[in-house]
Structure 1
Amino acid sequence: MRTLPRSLAAGVMALFALCAALVAPENALGVDTLARDANTPPATATSGEATASDPIEYVALGDSYASGYGLLPETGNPQPTCWQSYNNYPHQLASQFGFALEDRSCTGAATPNIAQDPQPLPGGATAPLQIEALSDSTDFVTITIGGNDAGFFNIASACLALDEKGPVAGEDGAFQSPNCREVYERPEGNILKDRIDYNVRDGLRRNFQAVAEAAPNADIYVVGYPAVVPVGGKIPAHGCFRPVIGLDGYAPDSVPFTDEDITFIAEIVRELNRTVEEEASAAGFTFVNTEEASSEHSVCAPRHESYIAGITITTLDPPTAQQGALHPNLPGHNYLANTAADAIQAKHPELERTPHEPMNVMPPLPAKSAQPDGRAAIFGSLGGIVLVGGTLLLLERRRRMHTISMTSR
């Protein structure tokens, strides 16, 4: 097992502590954004316009995988720091069917924020209980929730690899663990799987019941998480590891995970989706499986084919990253919208559906302008791992310097 020099280890620990602060909503570290008008919805992703005489009421609930964290323009609802996008799958779904949409999805939400506890947000704001949007007149509901209950921040930080062979950061950021499985496997069992089986399952059960009671006449769809990494951890022929620094500088959509840990992460995502599906079925809801069909479009896929954004570092001083790491990108939300629409139409063939033109153009890389608004703070489902960008950049630079030094001897 490799160890880092004491001076480098101290620097790594300092940066790790700094980056770990990104999980706190109060932080002021920046993240680059695309320069678009956040108050103007695009023509291809507006809310549905139901008829005034008989509107079909649709309410969207969920976390950052529903809100569209990382996509612009933003709606500002239910609070500006929910970073909800007009391009998210609820808005696209409403557009296809002409539903009247009330979107309560919010980045960082966990199951208690549905019906138990209002969600605290950066800057001291609070998102109201998402269930407050439901009523007897609600016709359709979609929910994507559970990933934040599993504590995927820990997975995101602990599984980050120095290179394709490891070591990984570990929960203390010391880069002493050979792989992520060793970090979470204990003689008594897998910490993460236990967390899913208890914390996530209990949260889903409580809040699914509350949703059913609040919207007794609604048809409710639980949209599962897409494949963040390939299902079964099947590594594509071109490999999966992509360092944060490329030949021309910061590499777009980097994937700093070892092949072994891709398999481990795949197991955790599968366990999460299995638990969500079981609790959705128990509540009488329709589960929409988005994992299997998206496997070939995971973060390991080529950038133009992926439904999941990798990590794009834009500056090191201060550590700044493009928001939306390890979250559905624009093609990803196209996919989620169409998959959910197929499930709805399968049960309601009488509904007219407007053909949806896929928005499959990848957004450009952002300009290097930091905005100290705490955007890099929020982890939506499955952990936006921008928090470790500075750590990996430091390690990558030191590794390259060491390689150059060795080859010049």
Structure 2
Amino acid sequence: MKLPRLASVAATLTALAGLVLGGAGVAAAQEAAATSYVALGDSYSSGVGAGNYDSSSGSCKRSNSAYPVLWKNANAPASFHFTACSGAKTTDVINNQLGPLNSGTTLVSISIGGNDAGFADAMTTCVLQGTNACVARINEARQYIAGTLPGRLDAVYSAIRSKAPNARVVVLNYPRFYKINGSCVVGLSETSRQAINDAADHLSDVIAKRVADHGFTFGDVRGRFTGHEICSGDPWLHSVDWLNITNSYHPKAAGQSGGYYPVLEGLA
């Protein structure tokens, strides 16, 4: 005799749950629609290596396959400004990229620091000059990362907060470049590959500390790229590309969509 009543109660609870979940979905959609998003940073944010470049971006090489555009397409924010630029250092962000930021900005993403640390030059040394020169140049980069870079990061993070006091700021790092003891049979030595990976981890550690001290959010992409490094069976990073050298050591479109985008989506 009580079964119909129990069924009625269950149906009512199910309907209420649907209303709550539906309301949450509407609220999430409304929040995304109210977002004012500005994407700052270097080539890892502009999308170098992913192709599909916006011709109007010139040498900044902003890709329509880059994670900021993927996030914009998925979430339809109220406004979107994409000022990330290939080759950018911290001073370039401060001097050239912060124009769209204001008190109404609600989301900022950025990757920065690799060019300050001289990673491009270090990788060139590793490719052209052998293991000893590679390790020595990587050690120079590590010294810069430990001694000088924290102050440079502080300057750019403080500038962002000053211009966008109400924004959630997501700082994304860089992946490890190589799968150690992977499928590569030529090219850099394993010693060089390990030194490069260790330096990338050191850079991530320094970035994470400065991010925490500024109250920003750290987006760690290394887990997403695990199994997709150079020398893996399914690399999401370009190795040396002699036909298009600027692609070298940058994420492919798959690295933007499978590596960077999900991290930003999960934090934004």
TM-score (norm 1): 0.55
**Residue of structure 2 aligned with 1:146, choices 90, 113, 134:** 113
* Cα offset, 1:98, TM superposition: 1.4
Taking the aligned partners of 1:142 and 1:56, their CA distance within structure 2 comes to: 13
Q: 1:222 to 1:68 in 2, by over 3 A?
A: same
Match of 1:69 in 2: 48
Match of 1:235 in 2: 181
Matched length: 236
Taking the aligned partners of 2:228 and 2:143, their CA distance within structure 1 comes to: 28
Are residues 1:56 and 2:23 paired? no
Of all paired residues, the percent bearing the same amino acid is 25
Are residues 1:131 and 2:98 paired? yes
Are residues 1:105 and 2:76 paired? no
Match of 1:269 in 2: 200
Deviations along 1:317-363, one digit per CA (max 9) or x if unpaired, are xxxx354111000110002111210122xxxxxxxxxxxxxxxxxxx
**Residue of structure 1 aligned with 2:134, choices 164, 180, 186:** 180
User: Structure 2: 5+ residue runs without aligned partners?
Assistant: 1-28
Q: Tell whether the 8 Å contact from 1:227 to 1:290 is kept in structure 2 after alignment.
A: no
Q: Tell whether the 8 Å contact from 2:102 to 2:163 is kept in structure 1 after alignment.
A: yes
Match of 1:338 in 2: 262
Letter in 1 for 2:104: S
SS at structure 2 position matched to 1:313? coil
Q: Tell whether the 8 Å contact from 1:179 to 1:260 is kept in structure 2 after alignment.
A: no
Name segments (4+ residues, structure 1) moved above 3 Å.
none
TM-score (norm 2): 0.82
Q: Tell whether the 8 Å contact from 2:39 to 2:83 is kept in structure 1 after alignment.
A: yes
Taking the aligned partners of 1:215 and 1:193, their CA distance within structure 2 comes to: 31
* Cα offset, 1:285, TM superposition: 0.4
Q: 1:215 to 1:241 in 2, by over 3 A?
A: farther
Q: Which has the higher helix share?
A: 2
Taking the aligned partners of 2:181 and 2:151, their CA distance within structure 1 comes to: 33
Match of 1:352 in 2: none
Are residues 1:211 and 2:134 paired? no
SS at structure 1 position matched to 2:197? helix
Of structures 1 and 2, the one scoring higher in RCO (CA 8 A, sep 6+) is: 1
SS at structure 2 position matched to 1:133? coil
Letter in 1 for 2:117: A
Match of 2:190 in 1: 259
Q: 1:184 to 1:83 in 2, by over 3 A?
A: closer
Taking the aligned partners of 2:171 and 2:88, their CA distance within structure 1 comes to: 15
